[in-house]
């Protein structure tokens, strides 16, 4: 006769088996649709580029990775840094950071406003925040073009108000890209910020005032430390997609002001350099992973504080 411990072990094994069985479909999809392509990309980045796109299978080459960082002069064959790529990397990181800071600056008061409304109206405000998601990103971006172009709403309004004499060139500048990205990613900042502010005990704010902290000090010493998880989550949610943004810089930034997403698209399209495109994509992923690593360590630290 099996002992009680033996029976328990058997039951546990059966339990584990059924759990694996239940998660198999999901695991398969992740494997085939998410992880699989990553390996394809990794493999492509180490192959020789095809003459009309694609790659030459089985022909190993480091050219793709080499061109991410370096360029060979076509006349004298000397090797230099790939200034064009590096400046696009830098631009992407810079614009994404600025976007993150701007959305944080605009999103924080917005989230605070919503979180301090009566419970009955909060949901209405949150609902309003999500309305832009109902429309396709491309259409919204073209609408933004209508707002900021030389004869657009913004310039017309400023001229009518007498603020400027002639239209300010916004289209096809970094400012236009920032306009578009802040607009697109603002909800992604507001929602996690709101989620952590909603949990904030506003009696702590009163306690701060009671203990002689002015409004600004209550903000710095009490509100911000307590909603930090929301700030970190919102920043990550904005920074990552900003870094890979494609539509916004393409439509509002024109051909000159490329970001990483556009550079990658170029390699798979007109550039016909798939290994380089694959290597660039993996580099982008590495940057994102780095940002996430910082986030996880941050979250772990602030989590430890609250337990």
144 in Cβ contact with 179 (< 8 Å): yes
Which residues within the stretch 28-47 sit at the binding site for another protein (CB under 8 A)? none
Q: Which 8-state DSSP code applies to residue 281?
A: H
For residue 217, state whether it binds another protein (rule: CB under 8 A): yes
**59/305 with CB nearer another protein:** 305
- Look up residue 100 and give its two tokens: 């993150």
Q: Which of 98, 213, 282, 288 binds another protein (CB under 8 A)?
A: 213
Q: Measured between alpha carbons, how far is 218 from 237 in angstroms, rounded to an integer?
A: 26
For residue 209, state whether it binds another protein (rule: CB under 8 A): yes
For residue 212, state whether it binds another protein (rule: CB under 8 A): yes
For residue 204, state whether it binds another protein (rule: CB under 8 A): yes
- Look up residue 77 and give its two tokens: 């064959």
200 in Cβ contact with 223 (< 8 Å): yes
For residue 191, state whether it binds another protein (rule: CB under 8 A): no
For residue 216, state whether it binds another protein (rule: CB under 8 A): no
Q: Quick check: helix, strand or coil at residue 7? A: helix
Q: Quick check: helix, strand or coil at residue 38? A: helix
Among the residue ranges 3-11, 30-38, 169-177, 222-230, the one whose residues contact another protein (CB under 8 A): 222-230
For residue 306, state whether it binds another protein (rule: CB under 8 A): yes
- Look up residue 299 and give its two tokens: 């979250």
The neighbouring-strand residues paired with 56 are 48
Cα 245 → chain centroid: 8
Q: How far is CA 217 from CA 3, 94, 211, 231, in A?
A: 64, 30, 11, 18
Kindly write out the interface string for residues 223-252 of this chain, putting x where it contacts another protein by CB under 8 A and - elsewhere: --xx--------------------------
Q: Measured between alpha carbons, how far is 171 from 190 in angstroms, rounded to an integer?
A: 26
**26/119 with CB nearer another protein:** 119
Q: CB under 8 Å to 38, separation ≥6 — which residues?
A: 285
The neighbouring-strand residues paired with 60 are 47
For residue 211, state whether it binds another protein (rule: CB under 8 A): yes
Q: Which 8-state DSSP code applies to residue 31?
A: I
Q: Which of 51, 120, 161, 203 binds another protein (CB under 8 A)?
A: 203
For residue 116, state whether it binds another protein (rule: CB under 8 A): no
For residue 119, state whether it binds another protein (rule: CB under 8 A): no
Among the residue ranges 27-35, 108-116, 208-216, 252-260, the one whose residues contact another protein (CB under 8 A): 208-216
Q: CB under 8 Å to 218, separation ≥6 — which residues?
A: 205, 208, 209
Min separation Cβ 197 and another protein, Å: 15
Q: Measured between alpha carbons, how far is 244 from 265 in angstroms, rounded to an integer?
A: 11
**224/286 with CB nearer another protein:** 224
For residue 294, state whether it binds another protein (rule: CB under 8 A): no
Among the residue ranges 78-86, 143-151, 200-208, 293-301, the one whose residues contact another protein (CB under 8 A): 200-208
For residue 222, state whether it binds another protein (rule: CB under 8 A): yes
Min separation Cβ 118 and another protein, Å: 12
Min separation Cβ 11 and another protein, Å: 37
Query: Interface with another protein by CB under 8 A: which residues?
Result: 201, 203-204, 206-214, 217, 221-222, 225-226, 305-307
């Amino acid at each position: 006769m099996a002992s009680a411990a033996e029976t328990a072990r058997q039951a546990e094994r059966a339990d584990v088996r059924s759990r694996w069985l239940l998660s198999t479909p999901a695991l398969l999809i992740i494997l085939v649709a998410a992880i699989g392509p990553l390996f394809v990309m990794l493999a492509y980045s180490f192959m020789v580029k095809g003459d009309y796109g694609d790659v030459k299978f089985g022909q190993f080459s480091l050219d793709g990775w080499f061109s991410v960082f370096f360029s060979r002069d076509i006349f004298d064959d000397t090797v230099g840094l790939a200034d064009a790529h590096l400046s696009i990397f830098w631009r992407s990181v810079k614009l994404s950071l600025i976007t993150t800071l701007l959305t944080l600056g605009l999103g924080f008061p917005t989230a605070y406003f919503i979180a301090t409304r009566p419970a009955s109206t909060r949901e209405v405000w949150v609902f309003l925040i999500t309305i832009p998601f109902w429309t396709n990103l491309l259409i919204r971006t073209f609408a933004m073009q209508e707002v900021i172009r030389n004869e657009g709403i913004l310039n017309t309004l400023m001229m009518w108000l007498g603020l400027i004499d002639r239209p300010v060139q916004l289209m096809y500048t970094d400012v236009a890209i920032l306009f578009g990205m802040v607009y697109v990613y603002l909800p992604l900042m507001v929602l996690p910020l709101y989620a952590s502010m909603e949990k904030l005990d506003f009696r702590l704010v009163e306690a701060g005032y009671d203990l002689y902290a002015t409004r600004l000090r209550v903000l710095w010493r009490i509100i911000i430390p307590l909603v930090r998880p929301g700030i970190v989550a919102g920043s990550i949610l904005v920074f990552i997609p900003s870094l890979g943004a494609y539509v916004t810089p393409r439509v509002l930034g024109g051909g000159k002001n490329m970001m990483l997403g556009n550079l990658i698209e170029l390699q798979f399209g007109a550039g016909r350099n798939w290994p380089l495109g694959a290597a660039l994509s993996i580099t982008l992923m590495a940057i994102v992973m780095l940002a996430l690593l910082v986030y996880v360590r941050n979250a772990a630290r602030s989590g430890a504080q609250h337990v």
